[in-house]
Chain A
Amino acid sequence: MKSAIEMEPVFTHALRDELLQFAQARRRRRPLWFLGAAGAVSVLVGAGVATAAILGLPGSPVSTSLTEQIVVEGSGSGHAELGTVPSDATHVAVEFTCLSAGGYRVATIQITCASLDVGSRSFFDLPIDDLEGSAITIQTSDSRAWKVTAAYIDRKTSPWAVNAKGETYGVINEVGTPDLIAVEMQAGGVGYVRATDLAFANGDPEAHDFRSPDEALRWQEEAAGTSVLLPAFESDGLTQIGVFLVSR
């Protein structure tokens, strides 16, 4: 049975706005390597990050558009009909714009637009299985307006490359982490940091051999707010070409 204890609505709403602003203000401080983890190039576009840095790197997604973009606008719950599904389509590349503040459910994706998000676009790739036939289902209340731009795509993840030492290199993706991780270096440009260096810098328990969770938490407390510079290499893992800043 659901407990009657819930956060007070006015407080909840205000906290939500504060959290989004907090996240908005700090999101750019994260290194580029992390963005690869999203596994979808379109998300990077959505985040307003230069995609050129990651596009084409080993391990990044490669999408081929199979159809023209279809634009559907509406308000309240409805469907965006995309037409016949091409046989080689794996995903639908979706650009969703909320034109009102509030909650939307776009197929399986929950999107909540605070007042500061109105008019902003979210980008994501929906697996074909999440469509209802050949349509994207949008659920929201009657008064909330939205716009969907979508096209069928064939999305594949390119394999990581292997250097002369037998180390894998490329971007972090849904498969996992390569030995050498693509990063945007402090002075710009793409370099590679060692996964082991990064895991250690980030306080990954497996890299540290912490003896207890207490020890790990103590490390996190001490590291909080500090930065460390890691060497960034060419894909050979030998030639240092710059540094990568990890902020903790």
Chain B
Amino acid sequence: MSTDEDDSSTWARALAGDVTAFGAIFDRHRDRAFRHAVYHLGNREDAEDATAAAFLELWRRRATVRVVDGSVLPWILVTTTNVARNIDRARRRYRDVLRRLPRQAPSTEEAELLLQGRLDAQRRLAEAAPAIDRLGRTDRDLLMLTAVEEMPVATAAEALGISAGAARTRLHRVKTRLREELGSAPAEVSS
């Protein structure tokens, strides 16, 4: 079943006004987006808001969404990152929708899992974290998509609207810079 991994036909149906296809896109990518949001925000409520805002943005900006390698996931992840960085603005924009959504307080066990998930993700970049914070936004997004989300460089590049060549150059530069700052390059960062 070839369309399992390929959003193209589902996305085309969504664009043509078939909202059930939009629902299928949500079903396919919601958990990945949510985990991405948890990584950035570290708690359930903020991550839920960011995920909701990212999918609302997906529909609002559907005319300009980039389908990369047959998938809208890269676009969703980049948008989730952007929304997470400015969660207050996203909350203002989608206030009416967000306040209708039911919330449940996470159990202690869940809270620990969430925290653990963030720590696990952060540990992968722990060595480099302070240096990564000093990177520009595009470099940081590029590193995030390739190192944390394990996306191919070309795919991440397309999602960020830069050429694959430019992405490789940037990653190489980032790697060199991190190596200089840290004394050794983190294993996950490859160009």
Interface stretch (choices A42-50, A84-92, A176-184):
A42-50
* Distance, CA A39 to CA B16, complexed state (A): 9
A-B contact pairs, 27 of them (CB 8 A): A3-B117, A7-B30, A7-B31, A8-B48, A10-B102, A11-B102, A11-B103, A12-B30, A15-B26, A22-B97, A23-B19, A23-B22, A27-B17, A34-B15, A37-B16, A38-B16, A40-B16, A108-B3, A109-B10, A109-B13, A110-B3, A110-B10, A111-B20, A112-B20, A112-B23, A117-B20, A213-B141
Residue B179 interfacial (CB < 8 Å): no
* Distance, CA A18 to CA B100, complexed state (A): 9
Shortest beta-carbon distance, A244 to chain B, in Å?
13
Question: What residues of B have a CB within 8 angstroms of the CB of A110 in the complex?
Answer: 3, 10, 24, 27-28
Q: Report the nearest A residue to B59, measured CB to CB.
A: A23
**Interface size counted on chain B using CB atoms at 8 A:** 56
Residue B12 interfacial (CB < 8 Å): yes
Residue B129 interfacial (CB < 8 Å): no
Q: Report the nearest A residue to B138, measured CB to CB.
A: A213
- Residues 17-44 of A at the B interface (beta carbon under 8 Å): 18-20, 22-24, 26-28, 30, 34-35, 37-40, 43-44
B-side residues, CB < 8 A to A, are 1-4, 9-10, 12-24, 26-28, 30-31, 34-35, 38, 44, 48, 51-52, 55-56, 59-64, 82, 97, 100-104, 106, 113-114, 117, 137-138, 141, 160-162
**Interface size counted on chain A using CB atoms at 8 A:** 59
Interface stretch (choices A59-67, A204-212, A226-234):
A204-212
With contacts A5-B113, A11-B101, A110-B24 known, is A20 near B19, CB below 8 A?
Answer: yes
Shortest beta-carbon distance, A112 to chain B, in Å?
4
Question: What residues of A have a CB within 8 angstroms of the CB of B10 in the complex?
Answer: 109-110
With contacts A5-B114, A202-B64 known, is A20 near B16, CB below 8 A?
Answer: no
- Residues 118-161 of A at the B interface (beta carbon under 8 Å): 120, 122, 124
Question: What residues of A have a CB within 8 angstroms of the CB of B17 in the complex?
Answer: 27-28, 30, 35, 43, 46-49
Pair B97/A5 contact, Cβ less than 8 Å: no
* Distance, CA A204 to CA B114, complexed state (A): 37
Partner of B161, one of A11, A122, A213: A213
6 A-B pairs closest in CB distance: A47-B17, A38-B16, A43-B16, A108-B3, A27-B17, A23-B19
Shortest beta-carbon distance, A107 to chain B, in Å?
8
Given contacts A8-B104, A47-B18, 16 further A-B contacts (CB under 8 A): A3-B117, A5-B31, A5-B114, A7-B30, A11-B103, A15-B52, A18-B97, A27-B17, A40-B16, A43-B17, A46-B17, A46-B18, A110-B27, A112-B27, A122-B18, A124-B13
